[in-house]
Every structure is written in structure tokens, then in C-alpha cells.
Amino acid sequence: MANKQVIVGLGSCGLAAGAGKVFDAIESIKKEKNLDFDLKKTSCIGMCFREPLVEVIDETGSYIYGEITDVKAAEILEKHILQNSPIKEYVVKTEVFDTKDKGFFEGQIKIALRNCGYIDPESIEEYEARKGYNALKKIASEKITSEVIIQNVLDSGIRGRGGGGFPTGLKWRFAFNNKASVKYIICNADEGDPGAFMDRSVLEGDPHSVLEGMTIGAYAIQASEGWIYCRAEYPLAIKRLNIAIDQARAKGYLGNNIMGIDGFNFDIHIKEGAGAFVCGEETALMASIEGERGMPRKRPPFPAESGLWKNPTNINNVETFANIPWIIINGPSEYSKYGTEKSKGTKVFALTGKIKNGGLVEVPMGITIRDVVFKLGGGIIDDKKFKAVQLGGPSGGCIPEYLADTVVDYDSVNATGAIMGSGGMVVMDETTCMVDMARFFLDFTKKESCGKCTFCRIGTQRMLEILTRITEGNGLETDLDTLIELSNQIKNSSLCGLGQTAPNPVLTTIKYFRDEYEAHIRDKKCPAKNCKPLLKFEIIEDKCTGCMLCKKVCPVNAISGERKLAHLIDQALCTKCGMCMSKCKFVAISKS
Amino acid sequence: MRIQRIQTKPHLDESEQVDLSLLVPLVQQYKNKRGNTIPLLQGIQNAYGFIPIPAMEWVAENTGLKLSDMYGVASFYAQFRLKPVGKIIVKVCHGTACHVQNATAITEALEEELGVKDGETTVDRVFTLESVACLGCCSLAPVMMIGDNTFGKLTGKQAKEVIRDIREKENGSGCEH
Ligand SMILES: Cc1cc2nc3c(=O)[nH]c(=O)nc-3n(C[C@H](O)[C@H](O)[C@H](O)COP(=O)(O)O)c2cc1C
Ligand code: FES
């Protein structure tokens, strides 16, 4: 009888939820009771909302347990491992019976994430056991040429997953056509969109797929050296990449004459980012690898002509590379059978915000936003009203609920004024203020602007000032027109994508939520009850029991009243901190 | 978001000695390698917790890099600090997901607990409070990170408790500051 397996998810999200403790608990119980099962580690399987996750595999199949504590883990070992009876109420996913989270996996197609959550990312053997490095082996044994690989990538229809959506095969062809003797390949793992973690999950969960993708890319464009530019905020990803690179070198997947292909020499280095969003932009990224301030450069020349240290360079995103080995093994038509006419394959999204099932999903292009939010995401927390999704982070925009039947593909999303972006999907409900959201993103781009282009540097500052003034109740009638005018100027006069897209969050919210702006400006009201200066806290006389609690907690002594009598808030003193409301046991305080 | 990157007044406290010998192996490792400015600065910061001006001067002298270039790079990236920081850095995520889940309340609670503003260090130099962009645990928003530990699904109250716990441990172990 095969051994049972117990696998603990130890991605960043799992660790944050306490998976480390769970692993230790299981390990010590195993030792103490001398239990017979294999204890393994894996990374994020995407169900971040149920972390920590523990999977048990026995003869009957796989059972994933969610929200596990050390106590529950002990129970599982007792019942499932010793007595062979799974604890149904803790199981969140299995093929054996239905679970309430079943919907989260229905409709997902895992290509880029094919191994995430299934293998130990620190074991090259486990990657190999799931067809890992088979693409590279196939290239060597069938003597596939660079041209054929590039044609395959082109035929698959895959477009860059870093946000731009440029056809990857075409980019490779440009780099291939340049016959310089030294060429480079770069993996962009800067993942700067604040609210996205697709690349982190791939790097933490399946680093070899990225290395293999890069190696295939290097073979295709004939590059000899590769760089992975990874955010320093992802220490676990960097650690696992380093382990993976060492393993790949030891096994001859990196190095000289790789897989016996004469003259195919390629090695990969890791470069840690130093914290600048603009370094995700390809030319700024190269400046940063060169050790300079990460400021974008003018294009043309494009990287394929003159990139890193002026050598032809090809740069792709983590997710793009992770797809490549799968395409080579399964063939381009297998890939292009998913998706829409102009957007093929699948896309990974990081589902966050006011959504029940926050996590990582990989869906075929062409699925509607509504299906992602409600079928996979399980709907809105506390069943509040769904208001909008934000796609594309600071470069993207908000898509309102009434356009939620928009399908996920590059062109349909662009048509709404948002962008597909790298895959952050932040869900908003009725309590999210759209003006505040726009202000949030402008605050981000203002800080992250490198300062090279005047309009981006000063224009974002001016826009932020206007937005701040609106959220504080000091907006002017003319502000919306000024914002739109400034937006167009910034878009037209910025060198790189940062400035060119920075106004998108403002433009889309004005387009779809103009009434919210107007409420702030004209009525000095925040319909979502979010913007503090516009709020008014009042005590509801009938409900107040005079318990005096609010009076005690108010930090500015704005509340007065006698015991057992209704209290009163002095509006002139109130700083709208909301403390009284959160403390009141009788729901006797209203916010308007 | 990141802490404000423009710190116009670098830290120049004459009374603090900078042990430059820590930099010897670093310079050996990176001297004459192209693209070495960032790794060198990262090395300096690892040695001292921030980038003291004398250390930058010494490295410039011994590698042939221009001091102005080093300063330009150091002041560009959010990672580099030109001022000393507390022993423990409290990073509160202000990424999109955390913002939507009211990360501001967490920062406000911590400001109250620590008695400093965002980006500042406590007088006893134990804590530095800072805001960062997405820590990659958005599904657990709002999130803060202290050392290697990430705390998710926080409320202001819990965040304060975490700090109190750490303070207690610090005091218990006779912290050197
Ligand atoms: C301001 C800015 C930030 C960017 N950040 C990222 C990023 O974090 N990750 C990424 O892969 N691409 C990012 N990009 C896109 C890159 O410039 C580039 O298009 C991409 O890495 C190419 O890879 P792909 O074709 O595989 O998408 C950014 C672009 C801009 C303008
Ligand atoms: S937005 Fe806070 S962890 Fe991603």
C-alpha cells in the first residue's frame, strides 16, 4: 500500500496565515507517534482565503483541508491518517465529495500555474516528475530549430502577460533577427502593481518553469546570459529561485552545451530590485540592472536592437515565461484553443478586495468579469452590493458593475478605458469611494514618478491636490474639467507607460462614477461614507441608553451627556475618527 | 505606499563612529564589476542598517565610483535609507487591496501606539513605522510585516497588541538600546 501524503502549503500567504506553525505541529506529532506518512511542502494553490491549507492524499484521492490550526491538524492526523476517515467539514476541495468551495476551481484552466500547489518548489525532481524540462529535452532530441520555436510561440497566440500584451513570438523574432554576437534575455519579476501577486506565486511555487521558459527563450533568440529582476520585497521567491538555479546548473539545464546542444551556453543571474515601481518598465529596469537610477529611456531603439549594456535584449514577464514550456510540449494549437480571437490562452488573476474567495485564479481568456467575481470569487463579502472591479492597478481603471459582462481579453477590457494589466483584480463594493480610489492611485503614481518628464512629475502632483481637495469637501465646480484636461496632457507628454497611463484611474472613475464626484463637490457628501471630512456622526436619541461608553472613548472629548440620558456629539469638535460608533453596543450612532 | 523617498538631510551625526572595516570584503567582491552600484549600496545597508555618508565616501574612493552617482542611486530607490532606523521595522501595507480594507486605520493605530508618525523612528530607536506597497498577501488584507513575520486580517487593536507583545519581549530580554 502506498504511503499517505500530507502536504502543507508554505507560500507567503500560507506562512502569513500561520502555516509554518501547522507544519511544525504535524512534524512533531509524526515523530512523537511514529506515524507512517510522507510529510511534504508545497506552495500557494490559489485558495488564499482558506489558508493555511493542508492536503492529504490517500488511496481514495486528494483532500485539501482549509483554515487549519495546529489543533485541527492533530485532529486530521488522528482521524484521517490513523482511522482513514476524512473530516468532511474541514475539507475545502476534493474530487470525492462536494464542498462549498467547489465553485472556486470550476472554470479554471491551469497552465501557468500547472504546478503551483502540486510540487515542492525546492525539489527539481518533483518538477521533472510533472513533465518539467521535457520541453527542453524535446528541443534537444528532436533538434528543433530556433525558427520553429519562435513560430510555435507565435502560433500559440500568447501575448505578453506583463501588461502590454505584445505578441511574444513577434518580440522573439525581432531579437532573433538581430545577429549581434552577445544577446541577453530578461525576466521581469518586479511586479509593481500594488494589489497583485501572480508572479510571486509562480516564482515561489514553480520557479523551474520560469527558468525553463527563459532557457527556451535564450535558445530561440540565441542569448547567452539571462537576468531575473525580482522585487526585494519577495525574499521567499528569491530564495527559491536561487535554489532552483543551483539545481538546474547541477543537472545541466543551465551551463555550457545545455542538453548536449553544441554551443548552447546559457546561465541566469538574479538581480534584486531596490524598490521603485517605474523599474518594472523595461528600459528603466535595464538602467537599474546597469546600476543606475531607474529612469526610462527613449524608444526606439527598442530593447531588441539596443537593450542591456547596449546589447540586443528580450524581456518578458514571469507568467509569459512560465507558459512557454507548456506550449512547446503540448503544441501551439492546444494553447490557442483557449481564449478569444485576439487573446489566446489563459490569464492568471489575483482576486482581492471585497471578495469572499480572495486568491489566485487562472481562467481562459473570454470569461466574463461577472463570472470571475461571482462564480469563482464567491461574490462580495457580507453580500454587499458589487460596485466595480479595478483592473491594471495604477495604470488601469475601474469597470463598473453594469459592464461586468465584459469578457476578459485585451481588446474588450481596453474598450472600457481600463487595461488588462498584469492581473490584479480588486473588487469593490458600495462602501468603496471611487474618488478616494482615484486619489489613492494618483498618490501612488505621484510618488513613483521618476521625475524625468515634467507633466508626469508635476501633473500627477496637481491632480493629487485636486483629488485630495475633493475628498475633503473643498472641490470646485471646475475641478472635473481641470482633471480631464490635465489627464490628457500627462498622457500626451510622458515618455513611458507610467505617465501615459497614470490618469487612467481618474478618467475611468469620472466616466463611470461622475455622480460620486459631483456629490463630493456639490453636496459635500461621500455616498460611500468613506471620506472622513465629509461624514457626520450623530447619536440616535431613541437608541442611546446613556451608558457613557462613547463619551469615554472619544479622544477629543466631543461627546457630552449624563448617565442614562441620550448623549450628544459636538460637531465642531468631532474629528470623525469613528471610535464612538465602533464601540457603541446599541448601534445608537449613525454615520451620514 | 513606499516611504517618502526624498530625505534631503542625510544623517550626519559626528558622534557616531562608522566601522569602515566592515566594507572591505564588500568592495573586494564587487570592485570593477559592471552594474555594481546597487549591490554595493545594498551591502552597505546590510552592514549598518542604513547608508552612512562616510561609508559611501569610502566605497567611492576604493572602487572608483563617483560619490554623486552613488548618492543619486541611493536617493532614488525606496529601499535605501540615509538615516538610521529602529531595530524593528514595522511595515504596514498600503497596497490597493489593503487600502480598500482600511489600511489607514492600521497605520493610525500604530502611530498612536508608537507615538511617531508614518516614516519615523521611536526615540529609543526600537521601532520604525513605515508604509509599503503590496506585500503579496492581499487576500489577508490588511497586512503588516515585522521582520519575517506577516500579520494578516488585522484590526487596529490587534496591530497594537502585536507591538505591545514585542515591547514586552524586548524589555524582558534587556534590549541594548
Ligand atoms: C510603469 C510600468 C511598470 C511596469 N511594471 C511591470 C512589472 O512589474 N512586471 C512586468 O512584467 N511588466 C511591467 N511593465 C511592462 C514592461 O515594460 C514590459 O512590457 C514587460 O515586462 C514585457 O513582458 P511581456 O511582453 O512578457 O509582458 C511595466 C510597464 C510600465 C510602463
Ligand atoms: S495590497 Fe496589501 S498585501 Fe497586497
CB-based contact, B71 to chain A, within 8 Å:
no
Q: CA-CA distance, B109 to A577, in Å (whole number)?
A: 11
Structure ipTM = 0.85
Check residue A417 and give its pLDDT: 92
Nearest CA to CA, how far is B79 from chain A (Å)? 5
Question: B88-172, which class in CATH?
Answer: alpha beta
Answer whether B72 sits within 8 Å of A293, measured CB to CB.
yes
Give the pLDDT confidence score for residue B12 in this predicted structure: 53
Q: Name every residue whose Cβ is closer than 8 Å to that of residue A301 and which is 6 or more positions away in sequence.
A: none
pLDDT digits (tens, 9 = 90+) for A391-436: 999 999 999 999 999 999 999 999 999 999 999 999 999 999 999 9
Distances in Å between the Cα of A182 and the Cα atoms of A45, A308, A312, A370, A550 are 39, 10, 7, 47, 70
Options 1.10.10, 1.10.1660, 1.10.287, 3.90.480; CATH of B20-76: 1.10.10
CA A401–ligand 2 middle distance (angstroms):
23
Residue A502 cell numbers, joined: 497614470
Query: Which residues in chain A have their CB less than 8 angstroms from residue B82's CB?
Result: none
Q: List the single residue in B35, B94, B95 with the smallest CB-CB distance to A290.
A: B35
Q: How far apart are CA A251 and CA A232, in angstroms?
A: 27
B chain contacts of residue A48, beta-carbon cutoff 8 Å = 137-140
Distance from CA of B122 to the nearest CA of A (A): 22
What spacing in Å lies between the alpha carbon of A362 and ligand 2's midpoint? 19
- CA distances to A355, A411, A433, B153 from A386, rounded to whole Å, are 9, 24, 13, 21
Domains and CATH numbers, chain A: 5-103 (3.40.30.10), 124-335 (3.40.50.11540), 346-429 (3.10.20.600), 434-523 (1.20.1440.230), 535-591 (3.30.70.20)
Q: Find cell 515618455 and name the residue.
A: A495
- Whether A317 lines ligand 1, by a CB cut-off of 6 Å, is yes
**Distance between CA atoms of residues A150 and A170, nearest Å:** 8
Q: Is the C-beta atom of A107 inside 6 A of ligand 2? A: no
Cβ pairs A/B, distance under 8 A: 135
In angstroms, the CA A109 to CA B6 distance is 45
Residue A197 CA: nearest ligand 2 atom is 4
Q: Could you say which of A16, A272, A273 has the minimum Cβ distance to residue B152?
A: A16
Strands A267-272 and A225-230: parallel
Residues with Cβ within 8 Å of A279's Cβ and at least 6 positions away in sequence, in order, are A190, A192, A229, A273, A285, A288, A294
Contacts of A15 in chain B (CB under 8 A): 150
Residue ranges of domains in chain B: 20-76, 88-172
User: What predicted TM-score, i.e. pTM, was given to this entire model?
Assistant: 0.92
Q: Whose CA is nearest to atom 12 of ligand 1?
A: A162
Q: How far apart are CA A364 and CA B152, in angstroms?
A: 30
Phi/psi of residue B145, nearest 5 degrees: -130, 130
* Ligand 2 center from residue B140 Cα (angstroms): 8
pLDDT value for B13: 58
Interface of A with B in 131-190 (CB under 8 A): none
* Cβ(B86) – ligand 2 distance below 6 Å: no
Q: What is the pLDDT along chain A (592 residues), one digit of tens a residue?
A: 468 999 999 988 888 888 999 999 999 999 999 999 999 999 988 898 999 999 999 999 999 999 999 999 999 999 999 999 999 999 999 999 998 888 899 889 999 999 999 999 999 999 999 999 999 999 999 999 999 999 999 999 999 999 889 999 999 999 999 999 999 999 999 998 888 899 999 999 999 999 999 999 999 999 999 999 998 888 889 999 999 999 999 999 999 999 999 999 999 999 998 889 999 999 999 999 999 999 999 999 999 999 999 999 999 999 999 999 999 999 999 999 999 999 999 999 999 999 999 999 999 999 999 999 999 999 999 999 999 999 999 999 999 999 999 999 999 999 999 999 999 999 999 999 999 999 999 999 999 999 999 999 999 999 999 999 999 999 999 999 999 999 999 999 999 999 999 999 999 999 999 999 999 999 999 999 999 889 999 999 999 999 999 988 888 889 999 988 899 999 989 888 888 888 889 999 998 8
Contact A345, A167 (CB under 8 A): no
Chain A residue numbers touching B138 (CB-CB < 8 A): 48, 195-197, 350, 352, 358
User: Does A293 contact B73 at a Cβ distance shorter than 8 Å?
Assistant: yes
What is the gyration radius of the CA atoms in chain B, in angstroms? Answer: 18
- Does any ligand 2 atom lie closer than 6 A to the CB of residue B154? no
Match 551591502 to its residue by C-alpha cell: B43
Substitution candidate for ligand 2 out of B1, B91, B92, B98 with most atoms within 8 A of CB = B98
| Residue-level pLDDT at B11 | 55
- Residue B140 CA: nearest ligand 2 atom is 3
